[in-house]
Amino acid sequence: MQRDSIFMLAVVMACFAAPLYFDLALCIAGNLFKARKPRAGVSRAIRLAVVVPAHDEETMIVRTVRSLKASDPSTAIYVVAHNCSDGTARAAAEVGARVVELNDRKQRGKGAALRHGFAAALAGGADAFLVVDADSVVSSNLIWATRLMLEQGADACQCRYELEAGEADAGRAHPLARLRSLAFRGMNVLRARGRAGFGFSTGLFGNGFALTAATLERAPFNANSIAEDVEYHTKLVHAGLPVYWVGNAFVYAHSPASGRAQATQEARWEGGRIGVASRATGRLGSALLKGKWRALETLADVWSLPLSRGIIALLLTLALAVHWLQVFALVCGAITLLYVLLAAMLGNEPGRDLSALALAPVYLTWKVLITPLVLRQSRSRAEWARTKREAPQL
């Protein structure tokens, strides 16, 4: 009886970890190939606008708008001041953004702000929309590179999205912050590049992505969950509209200032993904049955544990006296090691990033401690809660 129980536990542990490590292995291999481009022979003029959803971002919005204007002064920037209680709208208007105010407590999620911004930009003559968060700065070629990808025929695209450079590049970042940046790069850069290499849909990460008006007609942006980017990506895959990778243009997000703010933000990300996974499985399964085989990778992605939790699962499997499970854990451990090394190599200071792994046990313990918060967030409404951050230097 005890052996049967151990065997069933081993099967459950393997099932939990398998989607993550299948996806990681696939994405690692995909990095050996160049990103797939849109179909050849398509060329069209694109009238691109930038949509910036903002909730109480008075301290950040000026820097963001200035960064976008430096990328292309002629592109219209629509800042959606969504249920703001501060001076976000005024600050954005003062630096030249077109401000769209949305004051409706019944529309609380970021998805509502994006729909409002898309509608305003469309009414202003745009036929494509680049989404940039209100706490971000962008590379000087972001708007040009995004427009080029759309003009070449992409229905949707995602630019390289990382946590903000600065202290990390100067070598002054706390090792835990550097460790988080490394995890972020693996999720949003290495895995995206790998999918693009195999011709899968890259994915949407909520910041630095673009859509055409025609895409929104075929797949309306009616995502209302906390993880609205993941939710909408599953709808694009179901509709047969892949997201293309723009790896030479960057969006940098400002990091949370405190441990509590970071815990809240990560819990929202993880909890939101759990909620989306449970709702999107049927949609992605339907796409597979219709012959859209690329939906398999998206299905594995939405059901993947965060890497930190995957590592915790592997450590637990080693305590079970099941030979095949221990072999499985060792193989997955090798995949994890290669994944982390490649993610570090994609950064500016791989040596410093790898040295931060010394604090991995602390980070894993912290992940275990915030698990109850993650589970609560998985059942939460899509209310937009601003993450506390220190104001940057303008």
pLDDT tens digit sequence for 101-132: 998 877 778 999 999 999 999 999 999 999 99
pTM recorded for the entire structure: 0.90
Amino acid at 379: R
pLDDT tens digit sequence for 299-335: 999 999 889 888 988 888 887 778 888 889 999 999 9
pLDDT tens digit sequence for 248-288: 999 999 876 556 667 677 777 777 777 788 888 888 999 89
Distance of CA 166 to the CA centre of its chain: 21
Domains and CATH numbers, the chain: 2-377 (3.90.550.10)
- Chain position carrying tokens 């965060």: 306
Nearest to 306, CA basis, from 174, 143, 145, 184: 184
Nearest to 212, CA basis, from 145, 152, 150: 150
| 237/94 Cα distance (integer angstroms) | 39
pLDDT score of 172: 55
Nearest to 181, CA basis, from 162, 166, 207: 162
Burial class of residue 135, CB neighbours in 10 A (0-12, 13-18, 19+): buried
